[in-house]
Amino acid sequence: MTAAPSPHIDRIVELTTDQLRARLAEALQVYVDAMGYPPSTAQQRAPMWSAHMMRAGWRCVAAFNDADELVGIGYGYLGVPGQWWHEQVFRGLLTVTPRAEAEQWMHDYFELTELHVRPDSQGGGLGETILRRLLDGAPGNTVLLSTPEGPTRAWKLYRRVGFGDVLRHYQFTGDPRPFAVLGRGLPLS
């Protein structure tokens, strides 16, 4: 018996906060599946994702297959002092760069907070399409993101679209894994 063919990508759209709230459980399942996290992670992350939707400059792009299943998601917002990620990265940068350089990176940037593609839809360029659509017209002079260290599809994608090292082998509070903070100017070429 042969497996049924995977549904094809039908549409890639920008979502409003209300549209993402209506499909938040599905979006979090994509996140959990893509990251290989335990299912309970979705419940833990739901309040955080909901809070992120209220931040200045928030925007979200999602991909759906022809069965109307969400298969990819990306979102971000303007990073500002006082936000957890901003404070963590700024503190890390101060350990390896002069204050003026750290302040330059942490000023007027779009934080690419989440970018995930369901495992059965990876490898065909969908992540890059979501990324480019999300960053097209994103506020800020630069874009920053963090990703676990290691040779992954995400790393290859970020390098391919011009992200460079900002901070390497950084450990965020509460996570034992080393992360890289990557950045580049906006707009994407």
So what's the pLDDT on residue 156?
A: 93
Does this model's pTM top 0.85? yes
Q: Is 1 part of a structural domain of the chain?
A: no
Q: Is 63 part of a structural domain of the chain?
A: yes
**97: CATH:** 3.40.630.30
Spatial distance between the Cα atoms of 93 and 77, rounded to a whole number of angstroms:
20
Give the residue numbers spanning the domain of 67: 9-185
Q: Note the pLDDT tens digit of each residue in 139-162.
A: 999 999 999 998 888 999 999 999
Q: Where are the alpha helices (DSSP H) in the chain?
A: 17-22, 24-35, 40-52, 84-94, 99-105, 126-135, 153-160
Q: Is 124 part of a structural domain of the chain?
A: yes
pLDDT tens by residue, the chain, 189 residues? 444 445 688 899 999 999 999 999 999 999 999 999 999 999 999 999 999 999 999 999 999 999 999 999 999 999 999 999 999 999 999 999 999 999 999 999 999 999 999 999 999 999 999 999 999 999 999 999 999 998 888 999 999 999 999 999 999 998 899 999 999 999 997
Q: Is 4 part of a structural domain of the chain?
A: no
Number of domains in the chain: 1
Q: Calculate what percentage of the chain has a pLDDT beyond 70.
A: 96
Residues tagged active-site: 158
